[in-house]
Amino acid sequence: MRTIREGLVSEELQRRFHEAHSVLILTGAGVSAESGVPTFRGGGDSTVWRGMPFEIISSAGMLQRDLPAVWEWFNYRRGKLEALKPNPAHEAIARWQDVFKELSLVTQNIDGLHQMAGSRNVIELHGNVWRARCLDCGARSNARDLRFDRGVPLCFDCGGALRPDVVLFGEMLPTGAFELAAVKAESCELCLVVGTSAVVYPAASIPEIARAAGAFLVEVNPERTPLSDLCDEVLTGRAGEILPLLCQQPNREGGHDASYASIERMRPC
Ligand code: BJW
Ligand code: ZN
């Protein structure tokens, strides 16, 4: 394994980036970290709310036990998100949809920041915090319009209780979302995995599918993950600093301007 320091984006990655027709990007909480959204697991701490780890409060069991508490948690999260804006990583990804013939953006994030940056047709594996869903009739509502009755908002169509339209631990992903992502993964030439700890399944299997089907696999993350060893290149650093470099030509010295990033070449070119 060779580590290239001083912010070089390897020639091979530049070439693959410029030649690729079909690209898949899987994003996780880290892509929104520079916008101010807390990650779940990065940085040593994990998210805790009122003494409960998020694996408990964001779980199917909690929804059944205490729906008002789940709403409080998501109201709190929406309140924090309201003021936040996309960062250069979201913006770079949004620009790329007009660069590649086919760009599939698959996200585990529920914050809607990719869409706010201008990305279209985002495949949301874990739902969206700005939507609610009726437990009785399945109708979806805009979470900005909700009216709460004893801590739980009610459906405009049938009066049933609404829940956040997100995928909690122990719940199935939205019908078709994972399947569509898997099909795109099987046919992409380049797969970028950005800001995810790659521990939550089935999302974490998307890059595995892409790599097994022959894609060049690249991870962008300040920390190593269980996926790192499978990658062709690991770009160690922050998404908002690294992603904008990928579509730049190298400077005269052959490097880019970011001194924080390094690339580990996992597989000989
Ligand atoms: C930066 C950065 C910067 C920092 N730039 N990077 C196989 C084996 C074992 C268990 C399972 C299995 N298959 C399924 C399971 C169960 C479970 C699971 O995977 N558990 C594992 C944790 C063990 N999966 C499920 O339950 C899923 N459902 C399912 O499989 O259905 C079938 C089924 C049903 C019933 C029983 C069994 C199976 C559903 C998963 C839903 C996940 N939901 C959440 C919460 C959403 C709502 C909410 O927000 O509250 O989704 S959990 C949480 O984790 C959230 C995220 O989308 C998800 C992934 O996290 P992510 O995005 O990777 O973030 P972090 O924080 O983990 O990592 C951030 C990374 O960014 C770090 O690496 C940093 O270094 C990096 N970073 N700054 C770039 N500036
Ligand atoms: Zn309803």
pLDDT digits (tens, 9 = 90+) for 106-150: 999 999 999 999 999 999 999 999 999 999 999 999 999 998 888
**pLDDT band at 249, cuts 50/70/90?**
low
Cα–Cα distance between 113 and 87 in angstroms, integer? 9
Residue nearest ligand 1's atom 39 by CA: 169
Residue nearest ligand 1's atom 40 by CA: 169
Query: Which residues form the pocket of ligand 1, taking CB atoms under 6 Å from any ligand atom?
Result: 28-30, 33-34, 39-42, 54, 58, 108, 110, 126, 166-172, 195-197, 199-202, 220-223, 225, 238-239
Neighbours of ion ligand 2 (CB under 5 A): 134, 136-137, 139, 155, 157-158, 160
Q: Which amino acid is at 65?
A: R
Residue 91, helix vs strand vs coil:
helix
Are 69 and 62 in contact by the 8 Å Cβ rule? The answer is yes
The CA–CA distances, whole Å, from 219 to 74, 254, 265 equal 29, 22, 11
pLDDT confidence of residue 7: 55
Sequence-ordered list of residues with C-beta below 8 angstroms from that of 68, at least 6 positions apart, any chain: 150, 151, 152
